[in-house]
Amino acid sequence: MAAQFVIRRRVEFFDTDMAGIIHFSSYYRYMEEAEHAFFRSLGLSVMQKRDDGVVVGWPRVSASCSFEAPARFEDELEIRVSVERKGVKSLTMRYEFFNGERRVAHGRMKIACCLCRHDAPLESIPIPPEYDREFQEEQGANNE
C-alpha cells in the first residue's frame, strides 16, 4: 500500500449547509489545509521566500473533488494525502476523506512550482532541488 500523509479535522458548523452536511466548497479548503500540513511535515512551505525576495509558490492548475457520502457537523474526518505524480514543474496530489471506515469523498489537485514576484506574472519553474529531494523520497515510499 502507498505511504500517505494523514491529518484529522473536525467538521465545524461553518463548514456545513442548512442540513448540517459539509458544503462542497469546504472540501477544497480541507484539501488546501492538508496540502500545507503535508509540505510542513517535509520541512517545506508552499510559500518560500528566497534571499532575493522572490517567493517560490505552488498555485493550483486544477482541482476536483467527488462526493460519495455525506459527512456532518462534528464528524471527525481523516484526510489522506499522497503524491500521485511528480512532474518536472508540477505535482498532482490525491486526497481521500474518511469518516470512520467509510470514504466520503476523494479529490485531486495539480499544483505548479512558480516564482511569484510582486509586479510580474507567475513564472513556472522546475521543482527546486530541496523540494525535489523530499518529493522523490515521498514518491519512493509510495512505490514500495
Annotation says 17 is catalytic: yes
CA 55, 59, 62: angle at the middle one, nearest 5?
Answer: 170
Which of the 8 DSSP states describes residue 13?
G
Of the candidates 17, 51, 75, 119, the residue annotated as catalytic is: 17
Q: With contact defined as beta carbons under 8 Å apart, do 113 and 131 qualify?
A: yes
Active-site amino acid positions:
17
